[in-house]
Amino acid sequence: MRIVRTISEIRMALKTLREGGHRIGFVPTMGYLHEGHAALIKQSTARCNHTVVSVFVNPTQFGPKEDLAQYPRDLDRDQNLCLKLGVDILFLPETSEIFPTGFGTFVEPGSLGEVLCGKFRPGHFRGVATIVAKLFNIVQPDLAFFGQKDLQQIAVIRRMIRDLNMPVDIVAAPTVREADGLAMSSRNTYLNPEDRKRALCLQRGLLAADAAFHKGERKASKLAAIARKELSSADDVQYCQMVDAYTMEALDGEITRTAALCIAAIIGKTRLIDNVVLSPTDEGVQFINHLDPS
Ligand code: PAF
């Protein structure tokens, strides 16, 4: 595995790998890798000839009162995991390499970035779209892998690649969960033992809505209400909303297309998100595995 820190180095390394039409897979991360990241890396190594992982804690996607300074970091562990999983290139740029003095061009995701998490984290998706666009320009991958837990992030990135004609396919991989169902997240490390138990209410809400959906309930507001009932142990519920799984548009009536029930809740001092995709056809399966059908 090659560890590279500069844009010119990674471009040189990839030029050689790309020769012969080799397929490049890319897993962008902010580090502190867990089983969810490992699943993305495994998908990439299975489907591509070469896999690039980036570890970069992107300051532009954190609000002024958010956890940029505390965001967990463990580069040695990340490096070992990438090595074990057969990553070809690990890209570890410094902030100044990515955002040199005078940097001033951003990607605006528009209204898609202003709903759900965007409402509570203004500017977050502008920061995500900008860093992902930059990383795509640097790595020029054929396939890029993202976890379904960050469903709105996937929607923003899919919209961006369509709107800006970026030649990359996005693969959305299913959320990886702890044994008790908590969605894996680097931020789970902030939860104390009592909060860790309370955090399971998100999964309980999603499971209750999923069970009702599979018994035939199709009314979006009813399904959201079923999930919300389980969230009483959260300190705050920022949203518990049924949306179109591609456009993130709020759904209120009957579910007739692939939808997602999305939750953001505060447990102690930690903000957690999770979702379940609910599909009246088997399109839900396609959603996980591949691209926006539009
Ligand atoms: O999902 C993440 O870890 C980040 O938002 C990403 C995509 C690496 C961009 O910084």
Last-in-domain residue among 145, 173, 201: 173
Closest ligand 1 atom number to CA of residue 147: 1
Residues 222 and 113 in one domain: no
Whole-angstrom distance, CA of residue 229 vs CA of residue 201: 9
Spell out a b/e string for 155-167, using b for 16 or more CB atoms within 10 Å of the CB, else e.
bbbbbbbeeeebe
Residue range(s) defining the domain that contains residue 143: 2-173
Query: In this structure, which long-range contacts are made by residues 118-121, counting pairs with CB atoms below 8 Å and at least 24 apart in sequence?
Result: 118/152, 119/238, 119/239, 120/238, 120/239, 120/264, 120/271, 121/63, 121/66
Q: 289 pLDDT exceeds 60?
A: no
Same domain, 144 and 262: no
37 is catalytic: yes
Domain boundary among 173, 208, 226: 173
Q: Residues 187, 162: contact at Cβ < 8 Å? A: no
Residues 62 and 120 in one domain: yes
Domain assignment present for residue 179? The answer is no
Asked, for residue 30, whether it belongs to a domain, the answer is yes
Amino acid at 219: K
**Domain assignment present for 227:** yes
pLDDT over 70 for what percent of the chain?
96
Q: How far apart are CA 221 and CA 241, in angstroms?
A: 8
What residues pair up with 143 in beta bridges, in sequence order?
A: 25, 169
Cβ of 53 less than 6 Å from ligand 1: no
Question: In this predicted structure, what is the pLDDT of residue 284?
Answer: 58
In this structure, what are the phi and psi dihedrals at residue 137, rounded to the nearest 5 degrees? -65, -35
CA of 129 to the centre of ligand 1 (A): 9
Query: What pLDDT, in 10s, does the model give residues 77-95?
Result: 999 999 999 999 999 999 9
Residue nearest to atom 1 of ligand 1 (CA): 29
The answer to whether the CB of 33 falls within 8 A of the CB of 77 is: yes
Asked if the model's pLDDT at residue 293 lies above 50, the reply is no
Q: Is residue 119 part of a domain?
A: yes
In a domain, 293, yes or no: no
How many angstroms separate the alpha carbon of residue 222 from the centre of ligand 1? 32
- Looking at the structure, do residues 11 and 109 belong to the same domain, yes or no? yes
Q: What is the CATH number of the domain that holds 161?
A: 3.40.50.620
Together in a domain, 208 and 139: no
The answer to whether 25 and 63 are in contact (CB under 8 A) is no
Q: Which of 123, 140, 173 is at the close of a domain?
A: 173
- Residues 231 and 153 both lie in one domain: no
**Residues 156, 258 share a domain:** no
Q: Indicate if the pLDDT at residue 12 is higher than 70.
A: yes
Cβ neighbours for 109, distance < 8 A, ≥ 6 positions apart:
118, 125, 126, 128, 129, 156, 159, 160
Is there a domain that residue 181 lies in? Answer: no
Residue 57 Cα: closest atom of ligand 1: 10
Residues 193 and 70 in one domain: no
Q: What are phi and psi of 118, to 5 degrees?
A: -60, -30
Q: How far apart are CA 261 and CA 60, in angstroms?
A: 27
Residues 190 and 162 in one domain: no
The predicted-structure confidence for 70-79, as pLDDT tens digits, reads as follows 999 999 999 9
Is there a single domain that holds both residue 62 and residue 205? no
Q: Residue 90 domain-assigned?
A: yes
Is residue 151 located within the same domain as residue 281? no
Pocket test for ligand 1, best of 52, 61, 95, 149 (most atoms within 8 A of CB): 61
Rounded (10°) CA dihedral 245, 251, 257, 263: 40
7 within domain boundaries:
yes
Using the atom order of ligand 1, give the atom closest to the CA of residue 157: 7
Q: How confident is the model at residue 17 (pLDDT cuts 50, 70, 90)?
A: confident
58 in contact with ligand 1, CB cutoff 6 A: yes
Question: How far does residue 2's CA lie from ligand 1's centre (Å)?
Answer: 21
List 22, 34, 37, 50, catalytic entry: 37
- On whether both 103 and 126 belong to a single domain, the answer is yes
* Structure confidence at residue 283 as a pLDDT band (50, 70, 90): low
Summarize pLDDT for 42-54 with one digit per residue, the tens: 999 999 999 999 9
Q: Is the separation of the CB atoms in 28 and 134 below 8 Å?
A: no
Is the distance from the beta carbon of residue 60 to the nearest atom of ligand 1 less than 6 Å? Answer: no
The reply to whether ligand 1 has any atom less than 6 angstroms from the CB of 144 is no
Query: Domains in the chain: how many in total?
Result: 2
CATH number of the domain residue 195 falls in = 3.30.1300.10
**Residue 3 C-alpha to ligand 1 middle, in angstroms?**
19
The answer, yes or no, to whether any atom of ligand 1 lies below 6 A from the CB of 82, is no
